Amino acid sequence: MVTVSTAGIMSTARTGQLAVVGLGLVAPGVSGPADALAPAGAVAPGWFEAESALPGRGYRRLPDACKYLLAASRLAVGDAGDRLAQTGRDHRGAAVAINNTGAALLEEMDHTIMRAGAEGMSPSSSPFIAMSSFASRLSMEHGITGFNLTVNSPVTAGLEALQIAARAVAAGRARAVLVAAVEEALSPSQAQSRRQPRSPVSGPRPPSAAGAWPPPTAGAWPTSAADAGPSAATGPPSQASADGTEAGAAVLYCEPVVGGHARYGTCGARGAFLDPESAGRDADAVLGTLVGDDPPGRIDAVLDDSAVGTAAARWLDRLTGGACEVVVVPAPAQAGCLTPLQRVVGLFAQEHTAPTRRAVLAASAMGTLAYAELTVAPRSAVEAGDGVPYPAAESSGAFTEGASRP
C-alpha cells in the first residue's frame, strides 16, 4: 500500500518479510559475511581471483561485475545447503540491484564503435549493454525461471531489491529468491565527474563553523572504527578508494517466512521520498513514518553529504539519546548500491543470544529513502542450520557454523 500526503511526502507500507537462509559476499579485503562491517579494503587491481572463485569454463570473458555477482551467489547458495536444488526452477527468483555496474563497459563499447564500428565489439561482452543482462546471467547460472528483476538506482537499490523480493514472495511468485547488489569500478567519465563541483541541491552542504559535516550534533556519528565499519568518520565522507569506487557483490538467499528456514533471521524493507528542496522541514514526518515509533537497537545509515543526507543525519541524532545506537556510514557522491546491502549481510552475521532487531537506512541525494528492518536470529539458530560451512573459512577467517564471530 502506498500513502501520499498533500505535502508530497510518499512512503510505502510493509510488503512482507523474508526468511534469510544463506549469505554470500565478495568485496576487497573481505573474507566473508563476518567481515562485512569492517573498514572497506582498497579496490586495487587483482583483488578478485576469478579462477579460484569461479572455476570451470564460461567465465573468463564475462564483465568483472558479473563475475563478482556469480561468485557471491555461489557462496550464498552453498551457505543455504541444498535448499535451492530442492526448489523447482519455476519457483526460483532473483532481484539484482545495480547503479554504476556496466557504465565502464558501455563507455568502452562507445569508443570501440567510434573507432572500429560495431563489428569491433566483443561477442562475449556485447550482451551486457543491457543492464538486465547481469540478472539474466545469474538466472542462467542457477536455473532461475520464476522471475528476475533489475533495480537501478543510486545508494538505495539494494534495499529496494529486498522490498521487491518480499512482494514477489508474498504474491506466491517464488519460494526461493536471490537478492543481490553488485558494483564495479567507475568508468573514466564517472570518476572525472565525481571530481567536479555539484549543484546546490545535490552537492555538499556548507560546513559548520567548526568545519565538520554535518554540523556538530550530539552523537549521530560513530565514535570508533570498530562500531562504524566502512568509512568511520566525524567529518566529510571518506571513500573506499581514491575515486570512491565500490566493487563487489552481496547476495542473500531468501525464502518465505512461512514454510521457510529463517537460519539467519527475517527482514523486510520499505521506502519513502524526501524532497531535497524541503528536506530539513519534512524530515520529521518522512523519517518518523518510515522508521516508526519503536526503532530497533541499532540503525546503520548510509548517507552522503547532500541536503537529504544531512537532514537524515540530524533526525537520526535524536534517536541516540535512547536505546537506539546509530552508526552513520558516509557515502560519496555517485555512490553505488552495494554498501547498504553489505551492511545487511554484516548485521545478519553477528552473534546474539536472543532475537535482535537491527536496521539499515539508505538515502540518495535525489530524495529516495530505503529502510530494511532485520530480526537477527540467535546464535543457536544459526548453529542448528542445515547449511554448509562458508567456503575457505579455515584459511580466510570467514565464519563457519559454530565458529566465533566478532
Q: Tell me the C-alpha distance between 42 and 27, whole Å.
A: 9
**What residue type is 127 in one-letter code?**
P
Q: Tell me the C-alpha distance between 248 and 185, whole Å.
A: 9
Q: Which grid coordinates belong to 113? A: 564503435
Q: Are the CB atoms for 197 and 165 separated by under 8 Å?
A: no
Range of the domain at 83: 7-385
Q: Tell me which residues of the chain have a pLDDT lower than 70.
A: 1-15, 102-112, 120-128, 186-244, 333-334, 379-406
Cβ atoms within 10 Å of 259's Cβ, excluding its own: 8
Secondary structure class of 174 (helix, strand, coil): coil
**pLDDT confidence of residue 124:** 63
Q: Which element (helix H / strand E) includes 381?
A: helix 379-383
Q: Are the CB atoms for 58 and 70 separated by under 8 Å?
A: no
**What residue type is 230 in one-letter code?**
P
Q: Tell me the C-alpha distance between 181 and 338, whole Å.
A: 5
Q: Which element (helix H / strand E) includes 164?
A: helix 157-170
Whether residue 114 lies inside any domain: the answer is: yes
Whether residue 301 lies inside any domain: the answer is: yes
Q: Tell me the C-alpha distance between 158 and 342, whole Å.
A: 9
Whether residue 400 lies inside any domain: the answer is: no
Secondary structure class of 309 (helix, strand, coil): helix
Pairing of strands 2-4, 147-152: unpaired
Helix axes 157-170, 338-348, angle to 10 degrees: 60
Q: Tell me the C-alpha distance between 236 and 57, whole Å.
A: 44
Q: Are the CB atoms for 377 and 138 separated by under 8 Å?
A: no
**pLDDT confidence of residue 15:** 62
Whether residue 392 lies inside any domain: the answer is: no
Whether residue 397 lies inside any domain: the answer is: no
Q: Give tens-digit pLDDT for 205-264.
A: 333 333 334 433 433 433 333 343 333 333 333 334 444 678 999 999 999 999 889 999
Q: How many residues does the chain have?
A: 406
**pLDDT confidence of residue 323:** 86
Q: Identify the CATH number of the domain in which residue 70 sits.
A: 3.40.47.10
Whether residue 211 lies inside any domain: the answer is: yes
Give the number of domains in the chain.
1
Whether residue 244 lies inside any domain: the answer is: yes
Whether residue 404 lies inside any domain: the answer is: no
Q: Give tens-digit pLDDT for 295-322.
A: 999 999 999 999 999 999 999 999 987 7
